[in-house]
């Protein structure tokens, strides 16, 4: 398994105490997390995940099964985890992270913290409406209603949309066909992040992640919508850094 393929932008820090593995939202790419390095201290080494079919992996087929995806990703992670690590996942990324951690625990690997951002708990995702089957126009109208994740200049550029739309639809297929299976709770702690104006994920729904860990989760709500993390990047990084560095002493 090629570690570089899955983690193309690792910033190696000799003084790093933790590796922070970041998983993207639907349609997201690894480079979207690179600006976090501006706000994260050198003790936290950023490792953003590149999923198949985008950026440095553009020529590969999308993976439409979360089980297949996490099988492959868990193998790559085992090459990477040689120090304490944490996982951050936004929206779809949190769901992928949850399934990934279930795979990693079979290898006795567990994170110091699982940061869950703007994602409803897995047991509440079954039977949701499926927008990946809508027409392009209706599909994008629904996606835009959740926040300003895609800049207007991109939406108005047909060439860029021809690149973004297929991976968005593939990721929503992955998300909306997710087959939740009840299993023993994870033993790692959770930190839950969300936005006050998120029309999809409410604070009360976020708190239901508690049934999937043996630890008591902490909750932090920011101003903003489903993509609050793009507006409050520094504040988010400060919260992550405090949790990993100050509370682990």
- First-to-final CA distance of the chain: 34
Range among 105-114, 146-155, 192-201 with highest mean pLDDT value: 105-114
The percentage of the chain sitting over the pLDDT mark of 70, rounded to a whole number, equals 93
Kindly indicate the confidence band of residue 97, based on its pLDDT and cuts at 50, 70 and 90: very high
Range among 120-134, 201-215, 219-233 with highest mean pLDDT value: 201-215
Examine residue 249 and state whether it is found in any structural domain, yes or no.
no
Convert the pLDDT of each residue in 28-55 to its tens digit. 899 989 999 999 999 999 999 999 999 9
Examine residue 54 and state whether it is found in any structural domain, yes or no.
yes
Examine residue 21 and state whether it is found in any structural domain, yes or no.
yes
Question: Is the pLDDT reported for residue 147 higher than 60?
Answer: no
pLDDT for res 98: 98
Examine residue 233 and state whether it is found in any structural domain, yes or no.
yes
Convert the pLDDT of each residue in 46-90 to its tens digit. 999 999 999 999 999 999 999 999 999 999 999 888 889 999 999
CATH of residue 196: 3.40.50.1820
Q: Which residues are catalytic?
A: 91
Kindly indicate the confidence band of residue 247, based on its pLDDT and cuts at 50, 70 and 90: low
pLDDT for res 134: 73
Examine residue 59 and state whether it is found in any structural domain, yes or no.
yes
Q: In total, how many domains does the chain have?
A: 1
Give me the domain span that covers residue 53: 3-244
Kindly indicate the confidence band of residue 205, based on its pLDDT and cuts at 50, 70 and 90: very high
Examine residue 77 and state whether it is found in any structural domain, yes or no.
yes
Examine residue 165 and state whether it is found in any structural domain, yes or no.
yes
Examine residue 215 and state whether it is found in any structural domain, yes or no.
yes
């Amino acid at each position: 398994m090629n570690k570089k393929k899955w983690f193309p932008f690792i910033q190696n820090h000799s003084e790093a105490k933790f590796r922070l593995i970041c998983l993207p939202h639907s349609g997201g790419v690894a480079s979207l997390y690179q600006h976090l390095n501006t706000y994260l201290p050198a003790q936290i080494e950023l490792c953003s995940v590149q999923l198949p079919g985008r950026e440095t992996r553009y020529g590969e087929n999308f993976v439409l099964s979360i089980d297949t995806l996490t099988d492959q990703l868990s193998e790559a992670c085992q090459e990477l985890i040689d120090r304490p690590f944490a996982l951050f996942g936004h929206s779809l990324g949190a769901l992928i992270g949850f399934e990934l951690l279930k795979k990693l625990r079979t290898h006795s690997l567990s994170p110091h913290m699982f940061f869950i951002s703007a994602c409803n708990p897995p047991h509440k995702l079954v039977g949701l409406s499926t927008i990946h089957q809508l027409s392009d126009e209706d599909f994008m109208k629904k996606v835009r209603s959740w926040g300003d994740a895609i800049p207007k200049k991109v939406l108005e550029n047909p060439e860029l949309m021809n690149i973004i739309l297929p991976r968005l639809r593939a990721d929503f297929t992955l998300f909306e066909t997710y087959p939740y299976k009840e299993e023993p709770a994870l033993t790692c702690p959770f930190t839950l992040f969300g936005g006050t104006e998120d029309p999809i994920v409410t604070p009360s729904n976020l708190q239901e992640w508690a049934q999937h860990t043996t630890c008591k989760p902490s909750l932090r709500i920011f101003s903003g919508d489903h993509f609050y993390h793009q507006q409050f990047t520094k504040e988010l990084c400060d919260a992550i850094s405090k949790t990993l560095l100050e509370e682990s002493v």
